[in-house]
Each structure stands twice: as C-alpha cells, then as structure tokens.
Amino acid sequence: MANMKRYLVAGMCSMVKFCLFCMRINLNIAIIKMVPNSTENNALNVTLTTKATRSKIIYKEIPSYAWSEETRQMILSAVYYGYSVSALLGGLVTHRLGGKRVILFSLFSSSILTALIPWSAGVSTDLLIVLRVLDGMAQGLHNPAMLIILANWSVAHERSTLVSITYSGVALAEIICNPLSGWICSAYKLGGWPLSFYTYSTFGAVTAILCIFLIYENPDEDPYISSNEVEYLKSFDTTVGEKNKKISVPWLSILKSSAVWTVVIAFTSNVFGFFFIITEAPIFISEVLKFDVKTIGWLMSILGIVECLFALLSGVCADFIVRRELLTILPTRKLIAICSMGLSAFLLICIGFFQDSAILCLITLILAFGLLGCYNTCFMANVLDITKHYSSVIVGIMTCLASSTGFIGPSLFAALLKKKNTNDQWYLMFKIIAGIQLFGLLIFLLFAKAEEQFHSIEENISKQEMKSYNSINDASAEVVDTEE
C-alpha cells in the first residue's frame, strides 16, 4: 500500500460523495413519513406510548404535514436550484484556490444545513425550501473541486478507475442511506424521521474532519506519501493546482469548443434521468408498485448496489481496454456510453410494457438506473481527456446545467400529474427520459473528442508573461522617447 496513496485519496473523495449524497437524498425517503397517507396519519398523529415494567413512557408526537403534491415536488427539487446556481462558482473558486478547501467548506456547510431541516419544517414550508436551496448551493461547490483533486492524483491509464471509485460514493449512499433512512423514519421510539437528518449531518461533519488529514491538494503536499509514488506521479506531470493560479481561464476557447459542449450535453441528458429516478423512485415504488416504506428503503439500496457494480466495472473495464490497447481512449468512452445510456433508455421504455407485474417493473427500473451509473467513466473522465488544467471550470459548467434537470424533471412530472393523476403518467415520464438519453448519446457518439483541446498551461503562462514583458518594453521605449 506504500505506493497506493492515490487510491486512498480516491476512497476519501468517495466518502465525501457518500456523505453529501446521503444528506441530499434522505428527504426522498423521509418525506413519505413527513406526508403520510390516511392510514399512516392515524398512527402518526397520536401520542405513541409503551409500557415498561414499572412505568408508562410517553413519546413525543412525531410531526407530519399536509403538503400537496406540488409542494412536495417543490421541496424535493429545491436542492437542485441551489446546486445549479453554485456549480459554476465552484469551478471558478476551485481553479484559483484548489480543491481541498472547497470540499471542506461544502461538507461542513451541508452538514449544518441538514441538521436544521427538522426545525425548519416545523417553522414554515418556505423556510424549509430556503434551507434546501442553501444546502444545494453548498453541495454544488464540491463537484469541480473533486475533479481537480483527481486530476492532481491520477494518470491516464488509471483515470477511469479512480473516477469510478470516487463517484461510487453516490451508489454507496443509495445502498446504505435508503434502507437506513427507511428504518430510522419508522423507528418512532427513537424519534422517527427527524433523527435521520441528525444522523447524516453528524457523519458528514466527522468525515470533513478526517479529510483535513487524509486529502491533500497534490502529492507534493502529502506528508504520508512514499517518495516512489511521488516520482511515479511526477513522471506523468499530474499536478496542476499551483500552475492554475498563474493563468486566467480561456473562456472564449472553452465556450467555442465543440468537445466541451458535447460532453456537457451528453452529461446533462444522462443526469436528467439519474436525478429524476433517484428523487421520484421511492414515491413510484410506494404509490404505483404498492410497497411499504421499510421495503422501499431496501429496494432503493438494491438500486445503489447495482449502480455501484456497474460504475466500478465500467471504470475497470475502460482502463483495461486502454491499457491493453484494445481500443484507444475515445472509442472506449463511446462504447461505455452506448452500454450506459443506450441500454438504460431501452429498459426505461420497456417498463411501460410490464405494468401488470410490479416485480418486472421493479427489476427493469433497477437495471435501467444501474446502467446510468457508468456515466462518470464516460463523461467525467472525458473532461480530463480534453483538459486537466481547466477541468474544474468545465465541470462547473456541466454541473450547473445538468443539476437544473433536478428541478425541471419533477416540475414537468408535477404538471403531468396535475392534468391526470394516473399510473400512465409515470410510464410516459420514463419514455421522455429515455428520449432525452438517446439524444445525448447521439451527440456524444458524433462529436466527442479525447485530445487536448486548449493550449497547455505552460504555453498560456509563457504567452501571458511575454505579453507583460512586451508591455513593459513598450512603456520603457515611450519613456526614452519622451526624455529625448
């Protein structure tokens, strides 16, 4: 393990993703108990009691709320409003300050805001929505920061694996958070759904403290890394953090780049389905497939397990293909994209044909969602293919646009339900998601690139320094002319 510190860094980044995603999706399960149906309402709106051996213990009433479907969708999607707003800012801040400080700020802030959710729900719905927006803003900063850390610690033939390890934290959150949230929310004696928010916020704060000592901006700053691994990483010139501070972002080149917009469109198309399913699946499984909340937690955990397996497998396979020179980097990215978005879209369309079988619907949904987990091997890794030095800025653009689907999807779905609240509207929404994914896949297959798209950082620095040098010489010449 002496020469494997980069894998420990990826593992800690995965834990950061795990904590942030737990704090984001816990509400998806908790809201089922926060807005109970008529049967559960009778149980939740009375004082819960139990008899001990010698005394009667009375538990506090667990609050519930009569939110409409529109209000519920607004609360669930509010986090993505903030997420989209701050993502671009996260890219710019990371470009200047580096990834570690941004990650720590994001994790600490989200932990505090998550702990305040039970209190805010009791005060007013508007306050709860505001806190969810702020939580989204805090979380939106971390994604560009995460990628610049990976850029500093990864080499080309290990990139897919390290990216998939890092982003498997999202799947890990689904595996652990969903059943745990389902259990906690049903544990009335422990306090019910409010306890779930306190649990994840505490774990987030503890993880942030560990990150202070285990994540470093680049290998040179890490006091625990072996000299062999430092030399190995230096031989590939992975560190970009300090160099980035010397040069401004080439905005015009980035915004005119077809390679950038290709990965942005493909990523956004994929994330549209990912966010919708992770947000709405508990409600679909509860209201359409008719499973209870405890079972829903475990079923969502299965979604996470399948996603995690596909994510890790796709990363390892991609690096194996590139390392053995079976395919070059770009065809490998496209192959993974076809397996991910193409097969997932096909399965989402198939769900509508299995309406008479809850089990078949569930299996198809799980496989469709799991395949979406391969997207980081395609798109996050592709950002590092086309540029390491400006990767945080590009990921900021990607996340800004893609996270907007987190509230567009639920808003569109709420509009569909408002017109006619039937199960057919769910299956129509799955077909819409499939169509969007196929569009993004087509764009990626036609226009994706894997070569460096911008001047290297050294070239830009040299050009900027030469420009400054010429300006000084011109000014000196003017002074001489004046004196003469």
In a domain, 299, yes or no: yes
Domain that holds residue 361: 5-35+66-218+254-453
In a domain, 332, yes or no: yes
pLDDT in tens, 96-125: 788 899 999 999 999 999 999 999 998 999
Asked if residue 434 has pLDDT above 50, the reply is yes
Task: Enumerate the H helices of 352-387 as residue ranges.
Answer: 358-372, 375, 381-386
pLDDT in tens, 86-102: 877 887 888 778 889 99
DSSP string, 243-262: HHTTS---HHHHHH-HHHHH
In a domain, 230, yes or no: no
In a domain, 414, yes or no: yes
CB 117 within 8 A of CB 197: yes
pLDDT of residue 59: 44
Q: How far apart are CA 372 and CA 301, in angstroms?
A: 15
pLDDT of residue 58: 40
pLDDT of residue 19: 94
Beta carbons within 10 angstroms of residue 51's beta carbon: 8
Q: How far apart are CA 307 and CA 329, in angstroms?
A: 23
pLDDT of residue 438: 95
Can you give the CATH number for the domain in which 400 is found?
1.20.1250.20
Task: From 212, 219, 215, select the one nearest 239 (Cα to Cα).
Answer: 219
Asked if residue 306 has pLDDT above 60, the reply is yes
Mean per-residue pLDDT for 5-31? 90
Confidence of residue 129 (pLDDT cuts 50, 70, 90): very high
What mean pLDDT value characterizes the chain? 80
In a domain, 101, yes or no: yes
Beta carbons within 10 angstroms of residue 306's beta carbon: 21
In a domain, 21, yes or no: yes
Q: What is the pTM for the complete model shown?
A: 0.71
Mean per-residue pLDDT for 210-238? 82
In a domain, 246, yes or no: no
In a domain, 465, yes or no: no
Q: How many domains does the chain have?
A: 1
Q: How far apart are CA 368 and CA 274, in angstroms?
A: 10
